[in-house]
Amino acid sequence: MKIEQIPEELNNKVRLSIHASLFTGEKTFTELKELTGATDGNLSTQLTKLEKYKSISVKKEFIGKKPCTKYNITEKGLANFKDYIKLLENVIKSSELK
Amino acid sequence: MNDYDQALEDINLIKKIIYKAQKDFSGISNFFLGVALLNAFFVILKIVSYTLITGKGYDAGATQALISIVRYKNISLMVFYVMLYLYYRTKIKNKMDNFGLALVNIWGIIFIGIGLFALIISNKNIDSVQAVEFVSILMGICITALLIKKEWILIFCVIISGFYMFALTKDITFVVAMNGESRVLETMSSIIVDVMKSLGILLLYMSVRSRKHEDRANTGRTK
């Protein structure tokens, strides 16, 4: 992967932040909002896009009577995220060697 | 912005978010739940076997079956501890949760160490096995309480240590089963160790869970 070939899923700060958050485990919408610092609307839009790309999976549950939506990273999302981290490391290493 | 600056910015963003997200204690709390349930299961088996001894006698099939299971408790617990440790260690490692990994390693060493010690010593010196179990678990609970900032658990540790010391010095025993002339005795210290291994660890599970929920609640308030 080259830096100009970053997949659409990671080509946005909020989407990248969502990947990093879910990398550490399942999160609720509120937790993602806190971690990414995104607004409700923007977060919701990016989550829908990531769901379409099949990078994340969504689980709807009830805690007592309150609905609770939980998000998880998929195998595809995890692989893309790991590849992207490798790419970033390579870019930094090669720039520092120059 | 050139590639280097963009890469640096993205790496810093990822690091910052992973660091913030590591407040999640769900992995380690489930490990505690597993250990507590496992120990509670053997305590229940022991209670049922005492009831059967009193009700049906030593020679009844069910009594003998349960006594055999309880007899192999040490080896079964050891196998389960190793399995639980390896499962949660891999799970937490994959999440890059260094805090959770440190905790699961501490508890892995404690439980596997206790298991090995119990297997080596076996029935030769039950008192020393119990003392090692008690001290190791107590230390583990204290370290965990400090790490998760639940200092009140230390009070529980002081109280239970007081009971344990009292039970050891006074050598208090209870009749737990009776069959004709024969009686089965259990020391108060061994009952305290059983309580620590099941209810104490369950308390730790609930504390770690509540810590997670407090973090969520704080998150809500700051927004």
Residue pLDDT, tens place only, B34-46:
989 999 998 898 8
Residue B94 pLDDT: 63
* Partner A contacted by B93 (CB < 8 A): no
Average confidence (pLDDT) over B90-104: 74
Average confidence (pLDDT) over B146-166: 87
* Partner A contacted by B18 (CB < 8 A): yes
Q: Which residue of chain B has the CA closest to A96?
A: B4
pLDDT, greater one: B30 or B21:
B30
CATH annotation of A8-97:
1.10.10.10
Q: Which residues of A touch B21 (CB under 8 A)?
A: 20-21, 23-25, 27, 31, 35
Distance CA A68, CA A31 (A): 11
Q: Which residues of B touch A33 (CB under 8 A)?
A: 223
pLDDT band at B96 (very low <50, low <70, confident <90, very high): low
Q: What percent of chain B has pLDDT over 70?
A: 87
pLDDT, greater one: B25 or A9:
A9
CA distance B17 to chain A (A): 6
Residue B59 pLDDT: 79
Indicate the domain borders of chain A. Answer: 8-97
Q: Which residues of B touch A95 (CB under 8 A)?
A: 3-4, 7
Closest CA to A9 of A94, A73, A93, A87: A73
Q: What is the pTM of this model?
A: 0.61
* ipTM higher than the 0.85 cut: yes
Q: Which residues in B86-119 are b (16+ Cβ under 10 Å) and which e?
A: eebbebbeebebeebbebbeebbebbeebbebbe
Q: What percent of chain A has pLDDT over 70?
A: 92
Cβ atoms of B70 and B128 closer than 8 Å: no
Distance CA A77, CA A54 (A): 7
Average confidence (pLDDT) over A2-24: 86
